[in-house]
Amino acid sequence: MKKTDASNISGADESRRRFFVGASTAIGAVALASVLPRQARADDLPHLSPTDATAQTLGYVEDATKADKAKFPTYTAGNTCANCNFYQGGAAAWGGCQLFPGKAVNAKGWCSAHAKKA
């Protein structure tokens, strides 16, 4: 049998360590890169149509002042998507909404699931 000297063992350990660090970094980069494209910007999202089935169920309108107050008595003047907890558009005119994934809602809009920001 061939004897292994200590310098070869530490060199092998160092190579193995470098491999695992590099592989971990590469896997992390791939995971991060695969997540980034899924986070669409509000500008890229299609606008929610008031004729969408979920939008109709929740009484979504693009102009809060036109909410059907008889059908949705929870409407309160001044409530808009922009001041709702579910709105993700910040100060933008259109933004994402947690209730309508993949769609942008009008900041001036409203739906019956409105939850005023604290």
Residue-wise pLDDT for 9-54, tens only, equals: 676 677 777 766 666 666 766 665 555 444 445 568 999 999 999 9
Give the residue-averaged pLDDT of 83-96. Answer: 95
Give the residue-averaged pLDDT of 89-110. Answer: 95
Are 72 and 18 found together in one domain? no
The pLDDT value recorded for residue 39 is 45
The pLDDT value recorded for residue 37 is 47
Are 30 and 76 found together in one domain? no
Are 25 and 60 found together in one domain? no
Domains in the chain, number? 2
The pLDDT value recorded for residue 16 is 75
On the question of pLDDT at 59 being above 60, the answer is yes
The pLDDT value recorded for residue 3 is 57
Residue 14 domain-assigned (yes or no): yes
Are 48 and 26 found together in one domain? no
Residue 75 domain-assigned (yes or no): yes
On the question of pLDDT at 107 being above 80, the answer is yes
Q: What CATH number does residue 104 fall under?
A: 4.10.490.10
Residue 1 domain-assigned (yes or no): no
Residue 94 domain-assigned (yes or no): yes
Percent of the chain scoring above 70 in pLDDT: 69
- Written as one string, the DSSP assignment of 24-90 is HHHHHHHHHHHHGGGS--GGGSPBPPTTSHHHHHTT-BSSGGG--TTT-TT--TT--GGGBTTB--T
Is the Cβ–Cβ distance between 42 and 92 less than 8 Å? yes
Residue 54 domain-assigned (yes or no): yes
To the question of pTM greater than 0.85 for the whole model, the response is no
Are 89 and 57 found together in one domain? yes
- Domain interval for residue 20: 6-37
